[in-house]
Amino acid sequence: MPQRGGSPAPRLAALEEEAEPGRRCAPRSHLGLREPAALEMELLPLWLCLGFHFLTMKWKNGSGMAMVASQGGCKLGDGVADCRGQNLASVPSSLPSHSQTLILDANPLKTLWNHSLQPYPLLENLSLHSCHLGLIGLDAFQGQGHLHSLALADNCLSENYKETAAALHTLPDLRRLDLSGNSLTEDMAALMLQNLSSLEAVSLARNTLMRLDDCVFEGLEHLRELDLQRNYIFEIEGGAFDGLTELRRLNLAYNNLPCIVDFGLTQLQFLNISYNALEWFLAAKEEAAFELEMLDLSHNQLLFFPLLPQCSKLHTLLLRDNNMGFYRDLYNTSSPQEMVAQFLLVDGNVTNITTVSLWEEFASSDLAALHFLDMSQNQFQYLPDGFLKKMPSLSHLNLNQNCLMMLHIREHEPLAALTELDLSHNQLSELHLAPGLTGCLKSLRLFNLSSNQLQGVPTGLFANASNITTIDMSHNQVLLCPQPAPLDRAGPPSCVDFRNMTSLRSLSLEGCGLGALQDCPFQGTALTHLDLSSNWGILNGSIAPLQDIARTLQVLSLRNVGLNSGFTELDFSGFGNLRDLDLSGNFLTSFPRFRSSLALQTLDLRRNSLTALPQRAVSEQLLRSLQTIYLSQNPYDCCGVEGWGALQHLKSVADLAMVTCNLSSKVIRVLELPGGVPQDCKWERVDMGLLYLVLILPSCLTLLVACTVIFLTFKKPLLQVIKSRCHWSSVY
């Protein structure tokens, strides 16, 4: 490497020539004391060059990716270039040429020019969401033979849809195409999808499609997923999907379809027609095997239970929020086979009347593989005989918010596989269990009977329910059995027995009108969640009836049960695992007591009669493990409450902004307490009798002096007036 002027090499050689042979090392020793600093300064460029070369080699080996992680505002890594939201007006050309995924979402590109993607010949995924694209050049995708996924959602492709269609036709291996949110009509969509036979997934959601015919999806024989949700589709012509022999998933949610007749897409596995205007669903009358596994007909206007394929693999059926019911009462017949309905089908100038035997068609439906059935928010008043018999594999049944008045569990309707049963928000007054079916709910884990009119449950209903963990019987007028009910007892049920249900973990009895608990109604259970709210007087002023489950309880709700501190201070010291405690809506005047090792995380004391929060409670309870506490809507005394300063620094007081106190007949928010409150409180703490005496005594003395002066001033005239009026005679 050439040396600069004044380098130490020539100087070192000259000194060596002048030195004696025996002393050639002496100058070196002398230079060792003076020259190393100069030598290092001269070699500094060499070290810098070597360091730069080292970093360059490391970058080439892949360790220098962090140096370009934000090149041009784009994040790079693993073949992905993420340039979303960078306010780009065109496709950047300086990104790594080996990029396989390019994300340009939320950039104002407006136009995808010809050859703008040419620097990236290995692209497999291109995302152009929300780029205001109105035009895609004919040669914009030229040379993109590896592109498999293209997302063009939320743009303006309807403005120049013909040019866009021509550009898309240059992608022979495209598999996934997202055209959602582009205001496309069915004709525009048909043109864009033309000849794209390699497509496997297409999204046309959030467009303006209204009517589908057999030309829209022509030639898409490899299509497996089709998303048409949130359009305005009101009609689907016969044969519109016939060419889609590989179609497995079809989403037609949020459209305006009035009915589905002769449904015959045997290859479909997933069908979503929720949020339409369907009044009926009729499957084709054929014995072909359907692959359908999931059918969503929720949030429609169905009047009848859907007439399903005679042979299918259906395991999930969603019928929530319709107008369905069984109409035995409308027919003057005792035989369900005679219940028929006529459907009027109008197709152009042709009118067809289809007569359907409701029960026969339902009886022929294949529901043997059904696991999940949601019939909530309908108008079912009863379940016909044999309804549940067709569903031997049913594990989840939801019937909440219907009009059920009674439910019969019969011998030939086994519910052995049922794990969740929701009958809440009905009008149930009777729940019948056929004799000998005491173990019919042996697999049940969740049972919801809340908001009905039950006064009890059949004897032995929970006898062998060894897996049940959650029961909700809130808002029913039930009684808790003080002792186990005899299994051979006849007559209507009178009480509910939860004792010795070892699997039970969560029990809700809110608003059941329960009287005072006695005789340990939860003995033998390991409850972790218990809700006894809105049962006035259920604890009779003491929490002793809960001692059997004190060690296992984690969540306890005692809202509006009439608790007060008149008898004794509430002591939860035995509830070692209690995490959430709701004591709102009672008459507590003192802070509850807990054990020293507090596990409580949430405490609700709103709407009580607390006037003071002791300093001990603030320091020992709130500042320890408590994460959330509610203290508002109590008549606190600003002068009697200590520890407000500590409260203002606590993040655990969720409603601190709403906590108020009374000061001199004024209601003041704690956060707005004035600085002069201690002086005002001194007057509040003075003995009121002494204060009244001090205030009244000066007035009395003043009045006495005034009366004395008046009497002395008018003494003689006053005596004369009195004598004249009383006619007193003078004695001479």
What domains can you pick out in the chain, each with its CATH number?
498-682 (3.80.10.10)
Q: How confident is the model at residue 460 (pLDDT cuts 50, 70, 90)?
A: confident
User: What is the pLDDT of the chain when averaged over all its residues?
Assistant: 81
What's the pLDDT score for residue 220?
A: 95
What's the pLDDT score for residue 229?
A: 97
What's the pLDDT score for residue 439?
A: 65
Q: How confident is the model at residue 481 (pLDDT cuts 50, 70, 90)?
A: confident
CA–CA dist 570, 568 (Å, integer): 6
Residue in 145, 143, 141 with CA at minimum distance from that of residue 167: 141
Q: How confident is the model at residue 687 (pLDDT cuts 50, 70, 90)?
A: low
CA–CA dist 191, 179 (Å, integer): 13
What's the pLDDT score for residue 313?
A: 94
What is the percent of the chain where pLDDT is above 90?
A: 47
Mean pLDDT for the stretch of residues 340-356? 61
Token pair of 201 as six digits = 């997934």
What's the pLDDT score for residue 30?
A: 36
CA–CA dist 294, 251 (Å, integer): 11
293 close to 270: Cβ distance less than 8 angstroms: yes
Q: What is the 3-state secondary structure (H, E, C) of 663-682?
A: ECCEEEEHHHCCCCHHHHHH
- End-to-end distance of the chain based on CA atoms, in angstroms? 158
Mean pLDDT for the stretch of residues 195-202? 95
295 close to 317: Cβ distance less than 8 angstroms: yes
User: Which tops the pLDDT comparison, 203 or 482?
Assistant: 203
Token pair of 379 as six digits = 């108008």
Is residue 433 classed as helix, strand or coil in its secondary structure?
strand
- Count other Cβ atoms within 10 Å, centred on residue 727: 6
What's the pLDDT score for residue 35?
A: 40
The pTM of this model reads: 0.79
CA–CA dist 139, 163 (Å, integer): 10
CA–CA dist 143, 146 (Å, integer): 8
* Position 29 pLDDT exceeds 50: no
Amino acid at 241: F
Token pair of 8 as six digits = 């130490």
Query: What confidence tens digit (pLDDT) does each residue in 390-444 have?
Result: 898 999 999 999 999 998 887 777 678 899 999 999 999 988 877 766 667 788 9
Q: How confident is the model at residue 675 (pLDDT cuts 50, 70, 90)?
A: low
Residue in 108, 97, 98, 170 with CA at minimum distance from that of residue 137: 170
Token pair of 273 as six digits = 């027609």
**Out of 233-237, 621-625, 659-663, which region has the weakest mean confidence (pLDDT)?**
621-625
- Count other Cβ atoms within 10 Å, centred on residue 144: 21
324 close to 302: Cβ distance less than 8 angstroms: yes
CA–CA dist 589, 686 (Å, integer): 23
CA–CA dist 439, 416 (Å, integer): 8
- Count other Cβ atoms within 10 Å, centred on residue 76: 19
User: DSSP class of residue 507?
Assistant: E
- Count other Cβ atoms within 10 Å, centred on residue 639: 19
Q: How many CA atoms lie within 13 A of 390 on its CB side?
A: 20
